[in-house]
């Protein structure tokens, strides 16, 4: 897809959302998040997010002083993978024969 077509799609979608009374916000994929912001995005506790960073499941950005940072794109990629795995596990459970 070329840039003009991509931009046109973004503008059309944004206009539709605004006309529907929705709020629209532009977010950079490579935006650096704090560990709390990343945890909130994943709906997990901050200590759990730190464990994910320590295990390498989400790659951290270089620290800012003593504070960890995480790329929004990395958090969203982890979330997509986690959600796909969870959905597959739930489908598998739903397909199992029920014994009463």
Domains in the chain: ranges and CATH: 30-95 (1.10.1660.10)
Average pLDDT over residues 83-91: 92
Q: Name, in order, each residue with C-beta under 8 angstroms of 78's C-beta and a sequence gap of 6 or more.
A: 42, 52, 57, 58
Phi, psi of 31 (to 5 degrees): -60, 135
Q: Indicate whether 28 pLDDT > 70.
A: no
DSSP code of 59?
Answer: P
pLDDT tier for residue 76 given thresholds of 50, 70 and 90: very high
How far is residue 16's CA from residue 54's CA, in Å, rounded to a whole number?
A: 41
| CB-CB contact of 53 with 70 (8 Å) | yes
How far is residue 76's CA from residue 85's CA, in Å, rounded to a whole number?
A: 14
Q: For the chain, what is the mean pLDDT?
A: 90
- Within 10 A of 89 (CB to CB), how many other CB atoms are there? 10
Q: Tell me the HSE value of 38 on the side-chain side, using a 13 A CA sphere.
A: 31
pTM: 0.66
């Amino acid at each position: 897809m070329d840039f003009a077509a991509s931009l046109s799609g973004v503008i059309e979608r944004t206009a539709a959302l605004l006309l529907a009374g929705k709020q629209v916000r532009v977010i950079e994929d490579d935006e650096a998040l704090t560990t709390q912001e990343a945890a909130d995005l994943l709906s997990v506790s901050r200590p759990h997010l730190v464990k994910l960073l320590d295990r390498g499941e989400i790659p951290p950005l270089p620290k800012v002083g003593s504070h960890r940072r995480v790329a929004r794109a990395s958090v969203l990629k982890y979330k997509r993978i986690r959600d796909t795995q969870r959905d597959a596990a739930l489908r598998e459970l739903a397909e199992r024969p029920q014994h009463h």
